[in-house]
Chain A
Amino acid sequence: MSSDTSRLGLYLLLAPIFLWLTVLIILPHVGLFIVSISEKVGPRDYDTGFANYAAFFTEPLYWRTFARTTIMSVLATVLTLILGFPIAYYIAKLTKGRAKTTLFLMCMIPFWVSELVRTFGWMILLRETGVFSNLLQYLGLVTGPVEMLYNDAAIMVGLVYTSILFMVVPLVTTLDSLDDSLIEAGYDLGGTNTSIMREIVIPHAMPGIVSGCIVVFMLSLGNYLTPILLGGKDSLWFTGMIYTQFITRFNWELGSAFGFLLLALSSLVVFLGLKVSGQSLSNTMGRS
């Protein structure tokens, strides 16, 4: 009797997460998968098959766009790590008390406005008649207006800016847990700055680095706004392509297949990343 009640309690507690998973994650994906394996023969006439998936591999444009998106996302992740690590190290190790909270808060302030507003902010800064261009002209460094928007570098800036918080937070958490005495011991034993960084700090921060990288990579890969608004005429992004298939081409079948391929291929990239860095998912996600 008592075990029955506790089991009921367990089920009731599980119900929200179970409902959330089923209704919002599993069911839509099943629906999407069914759409993705239907091939259009004619109006209101569909066959079942994997032609949509085949189209991704046979049409160079599609997989090239995916490859481009992946490479740019990896690059954005690396840049975010390079920028985020010193910030996180400074916040976690070199500041105390109030200064620490203030700095942490300053990292978060840009995230109080929506991504759209942040991206528009970058457009105002980078455009030909924008702030940077006028400043450079005012300082006499350039003679005419310079266009800094609508290219891959602008996308990169936007992506790094959008995702840096998601790198800094896990890094600060893991670096916080590193005992200062370990670093001091390293110096006592004659370690240099680089060797201490390499032998003590980075190995300890590895779970934070990997989980930050996974989050940033996924956010960049799945980003839609930043590449569309900041990118130029050659800047195809895979999510933009999915949008086009769904909305402007009325081709939900191909769009759904692309969605699944994005899910599968990005999982594969993360898996390879974990293998290369020698981390496991439970280790990285569990500790940070």
Chain B
Amino acid sequence: MNKSLLVSLIAIAALAAPMSQAETLRLLTWGGYAPEDVIAKFEAETGHTVEVTTSNNEEMIAKLRATNGGGFDLAQPSQDRISSAQEEFGIYKPIDMSRVNAELFIPSMLSATAGNTTYDGEVYGLPHVWGTSGLVVNTAEAGDVRDYTDLCDASVAGKVSYRLKRPTLIGFAYSMGLDPFAAYGDTEAYQDILDQVEAKLTECKPNVKTYWGGGDEIKNLLRSGEVIASMAWDTGGWQLNADNPDITFVAPEAGALGWIDTFVLPARGRADDAAYDWINFVMQPEIAAMITNTAGNFTAAVDGDAGVNADLKARYQGSFDQEAIDNIKWYPPVPAGLEAMEGSTLDRINAAN
């Protein structure tokens, strides 16, 4: 009896000893941001294990809110959704910059993200992957679609799809000559913009085939030719371009909408060591290139584009000239409460006949 107790104690001690260093990293991220080969390399190098859950911005926040920031050790929401979520729900913990290898990050992006994710004097986010949303168009059939409002043109009637979400409101507002980001802080001005966009989108509704919900859905619609012009992410357009050269991502005249997905630490995450190890690992140029090759989007890593395959680079350059890059509208942090206003606008558009 005593002997077996001793043996099991030793066994527990033996198990527990490496546990203090090797942890399980529960990563809440987007599809493509944690490819298998990167995980395998990370596990071999550090001894940590990685469990990946893929999600999207809203679900990430909802999941963390449900557990008061528990259940995950590292999450990757977009930078504009961090400070307001922190203000309302307190689901993140501040980044300890001394544990991050800042040299791996492109300095301008690091400081911009730090500025956008500061709440109460603490920085909550580090930049990882960035990209844009704009138009994905079948250029052979809808070559005239160059701006968001062109989706309402009679020539593409019934063959248009976009999401009924906030990027659509923002994109249309810019296309209509308004400046929604400048009005973020001014509730009345923003409501005025929303009302104008609502009128436009309601008028545009007969043109729409369906409002898409997931990335695969819109890719299917475009691939089958049922939809020839849509509002979607740049990567979706480039992936389709590989199958059908007519379909590609077009940076709208009013400006593509730029987002940066970040690293944040959930408030009750348990494996901070593994989380910082992961951040410092994936920001290395060669790993960043591996992620870009699977996710299709570029990263905030210094020299991260060096190892990216030539096709993707060519597609990127085909969609963005320097002017289009300068014209990207980067999402500023969303003030708390703005979603409720946008929500009722979207509801009304959805219900309108």
**Chain A residues within 8 Å of B, Cβ to Cβ:** 43-44, 59, 61, 64-65, 127-129, 147, 149-150, 228, 232-234, 236, 241, 244-252
11 A-B pairs whose Cβ atoms sit less than 8 Å apart in the complex? A44-B87, A61-B347, A64-B351, A129-B224, A129-B226, A149-B210, A232-B210, A234-B350, A244-B343, A248-B58, A250-B61
Give A234 to B16 CA distance when docked, in angstroms. Answer: 57
**B window 321-344: CB within 8 A of A:** 336-337, 339-340, 343-344
Q: A61-B347, A127-B224, A246-B62 are in contact. Are A44 and B339 (CB under 8 A)?
A: no
Min CB distance, A116 to chain B, in Å?
12
Closest chain B residue to A151, Cβ basis:
B210
Given contacts A128-B226, A233-B205, 9 further A-B contacts (CB under 8 A): A147-B226, A232-B210, A233-B350, A234-B351, A236-B350, A247-B59, A249-B343, A250-B61, A250-B88
Closest chain B residue to A249, Cβ basis:
B343
Name the interface size band of chain B: 20 to 34
Min CB distance, B269 to chain A, in Å?
21
Closest chain B residue to A252, Cβ basis:
B65
Residues of chain B contacted by A247 (CB below 8 angstroms) = 58-59, 62
One of B62, B210, B213, B344 near A250 (C-beta < 8 A): B62
> B343 touching A236 by the CB < 8 A rule?
no
Give A149 to B209 CA distance when docked, in angstroms. Answer: 10
Closest chain A residue to B350, Cβ basis:
A236
Min CB distance, A101 to chain B, in Å?
39
Give A251 to B340 CA distance when docked, in angstroms. Answer: 8
Residues of chain B contacted by A150 (CB below 8 angstroms) = 209-210
Give A275 to B87 CA distance when docked, in angstroms. Answer: 50
Give A245 to B89 CA distance when docked, in angstroms. Answer: 16
Would you call B225 an interface residue if the criterion is a C-beta within 8 Å of the partner chain's C-beta atoms? yes
Min CB distance, B40 to chain A, in Å?
30
- Chain A interface mostly helix, strand, loop or mixed? loop
Residues of chain B contacted by A43 (CB below 8 angstroms) = 87-88, 336-337
> A236 touching B351 by the CB < 8 A rule?
yes
Q: What 3 A-B pairs are tightest by C-beta distance, nearest first?
A: A249-B343, A129-B224, A150-B210
Residues of chain A contacted by B87 (CB below 8 angstroms) = 43-44
Per-position contact with A for B60-86: 1 when CB-CB < 8 Å, else 0? 011001000000000000000000010
Would you call B348 an interface residue if the criterion is a C-beta within 8 Å of the partner chain's C-beta atoms? yes
Would you call B208 an interface residue if the criterion is a C-beta within 8 Å of the partner chain's C-beta atoms? yes
Closest chain A residue to B206, Cβ basis:
A233
Would you call B90 an interface residue if the criterion is a C-beta within 8 Å of the partner chain's C-beta atoms? yes
Would you call B20 an interface residue if the criterion is a C-beta within 8 Å of the partner chain's C-beta atoms? no
> B224 touching A147 by the CB < 8 A rule?
no
One of A129, A228, A250 near B339 (C-beta < 8 A): A250
Per-position contact with A for B149-180: 1 when CB-CB < 8 Å, else 0? 00000000000000001000000000000000
Would you call B316 an interface residue if the criterion is a C-beta within 8 Å of the partner chain's C-beta atoms? no
Residues of chain A contacted by B213 (CB below 8 angstroms) = 228
> A248 touching B343 by the CB < 8 A rule?
yes
Closest chain B residue to A235, Cβ basis:
B350
Give A249 to B351 CA distance when docked, in angstroms. Answer: 17
> B88 touching A44 by the CB < 8 A rule?
yes
Per-position contact with A for B30-74: 1 when CB-CB < 8 Å, else 0? 000000000000000000000000000011011001000000000
